[in-house]
A and B are shown apart, each in its own frame.
Chain A
Amino acid sequence: MLMESLSGRRKVLEQKPMNFWERIYLPAIFKGMGITFMHMFKKKETIRYPEEEREFSENWRGMHSLKRDEDGRERCTACGLCALSCPAEAITMISAEREKGEEHLYREEKYAAVYEINMLRCIFCGLCEEACPKEAIYLDGPIVPADYLRKDFIYGKDKLVEMPIDELEALKGAKV
Chain B
Amino acid sequence: MELAFLFEKLILVTVLFVLTLSIAAYSTWLERKVAAWLQDRVGPNRAGIFGLLQPLADGGKMFFKEEIIPSGSNKWLFIAGPSLALLVSFLGTAVIPFGQNIELFGKTVPLQVTDINVGILYIFGVVSLGVYGIMIGGWASNNKYSLMGAVRGASQNISYEIAMGLSIIALLLVTNTLSFKEIAEQQHSWHWNVIYQPLGFLIFIICAFAETNRVPFDLPECETELIGGYNTEYSAFKMGAYMFAEYINMFVSSAVMAVLYFGGYNYPGMDAVNSLLGPTWGPVIGVAVMFIKIIAFIFFFMWVRWTIPRFRYDQLMDLGWKILIPLAIANIVITAIVITVVDKL
Residues of A within 8 A of B (CB): 23-25, 29, 32-33, 35-37, 39-40, 42-46, 48
Contacts and interface: CB of A to CB of B under 8 A. Distances in A.
B104 interface: no
8 contacts: A24-B323, A32-B307, A35-B307, A39-B38, A39-B40, A40-B38, A43-B40, A44-B40
A19 to B, nearest CB: 14
Contact of A40 (B37, B45, B304, B308): B37
Contact residues of B: prevailing secondary structure: loop
Given A33-B303, A33-B304, A33-B307, A45 B38 contact: no
Contacts, number: 37
Interface in B10-46: 37-42, 45
Which 10 interchain pairs have the tightest Cβ spacing? A36-B307, A36-B38, A40-B37, A46-B42, A45-B40, A32-B307, A33-B307, A46-B41, A44-B42, A42-B40
Contacts of B41: 44-46
Contact of A39 (B37, B308, B323): B37
Nearest to B46: A48
B49 to A, nearest CB: 14
Contacts of A48: 42, 45
B306 interface: yes
A43 B42 CA distance: 10
Contacts of A35: 307
A143 B279 CA distance: 62
A171 B45 CA distance: 34
Contact of A32 (B37, B45, B308, B323): B308
Given A36-B307, A45-B40, A48-B45, 20 more contacts: A24-B323, A29-B304, A29-B307, A29-B308, A32-B307, A33-B307, A33-B308, A35-B307, A36-B38, A37-B38, A37-B303, A39-B37, A40-B37, A40-B38, A43-B40, A44-B40, A44-B42, A45-B41, A46-B41, A46-B42
B155 to A, nearest CB: 20
A24 B199 CA distance: 13
A37 B307 CA distance: 9
A67 B45 CA distance: 39
A110 B45 CA distance: 51
A45 B45 CA distance: 14
